[in-house]
């Protein structure tokens, strides 16, 4: 119930002053789980946009524990409420951790991309990987799924959200699943190259031009 209340409050806030909204639609890896809300990479992204004079508001509709099935069930409402120019889709990790079918995950990801695009949003898909103890077949299929969806739906892909973080125990909380505050700037540096080209697209060209001229 608390999650639903928080989500309703978040989505009800739909700023109109900014040139556009970036909707981050993910799970605990985007929800700053286990660290301060202001320390997560999504907050750091908002700070970077301001520093670079990009006139965007960031709406974080990420929910800890969310699967692609849950995301597929709520994305229409999220897109309708926030009317984003860009959607950063960062779901799938919990599907993998639960060993859910990769084919189902791909279908859900594709559906979310289509919903976002149908609302006029540009989409950045964020991929992830599973540890080797899930078996070679599953881990390979899981990793490849993001690339296959990105290619089929013609959207850019960041192949691995935890690039530069995974494998370094110092960057994880005690659960060995969720990144620490120290890892968040690294995650932002991984996401940024995929996002930056979208900021200058279509109706945001004037915003991007102002940022480049600064």
Q: Rounded distance, CA 90 to CA 101, Å?
A: 18
Please list, in sequence order, all residues whose beta carbon lies within 8 angstroms of the beta carbon of residue 2, skipping any fewer than 6 positions away.
none
Please list, in sequence order, all residues whose beta carbon lies within 8 angstroms of the beta carbon of residue 60, skipping any fewer than 6 positions away.
10, 24, 30, 31, 42
Furthest C-alpha separation in the chain: 50
Structure token digits, residue 66: 């969310």
Structure token digits, residue 162: 């935890």
Active site residue 175: yes
Residues 85, 95, 178, 204: which is the catalytic one? 178
Q: Considering only CA atoms, which of 23, 14, 40, 7 is closest in space to residue 178?
A: 40
The radius of gyration of the chain from alpha carbons, rounded to an integer in Å, stands at 16
Residues 28, 85, 93, 121: which is the catalytic one? 28
User: What H or E segment, with its residue span, contains residue 26?
Assistant: strand 20-26
Tell me the β-bridge partners of 59: 23
C-alpha count within 13 angstroms, C-beta hemisphere, residue 18? 20
Active site residue 178: yes
- The residues carrying an active-site annotation are 28, 175, 178
């Amino acid at each position: 119930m608390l999650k639903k209340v928080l989500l309703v409050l978040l989505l009800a806030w739909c700023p109109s002053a900014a040139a556009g909204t970036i909707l981050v639609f993910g799970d605990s890896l985007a929800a700053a789980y286990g660290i301060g809300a202001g320390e997560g990479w999504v907050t750091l992204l908002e700070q970077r946009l301001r520093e670079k004079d990009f006139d965007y508001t960031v709406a974080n509709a990420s929910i800890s524990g969310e699967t692609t099935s849950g995301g597929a069930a709520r994305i229409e409402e999220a897109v309708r409420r926030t009317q984003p120019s860009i959607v950063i889709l960062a779901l799938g990790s919990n599907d993998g951790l639960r060993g859910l079918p990769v084919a189902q995950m791909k279908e859900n990801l594709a559906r979310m991309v289509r919903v976002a695009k149908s609302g006029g949003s540009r989409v950045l898909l964020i991929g992830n990987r599973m540890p080797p103890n899930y078996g070679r077949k599953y881990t390979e299929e899981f990793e490849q799924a993001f690339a296959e969806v990105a290619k089929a739906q013609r959207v850019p892909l960041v192949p691995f959200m935890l690039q530069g973080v995974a494998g370094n125990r110092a960057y994880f909380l005690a659960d060995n699943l969720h990144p620490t505050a120290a890892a968040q700037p690294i995650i932002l540096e991984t996401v940024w190259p995929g996002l930056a080209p979208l900021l200058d697209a279509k109706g945001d060209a004037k915003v991007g031009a102002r940022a480049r001229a600064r």
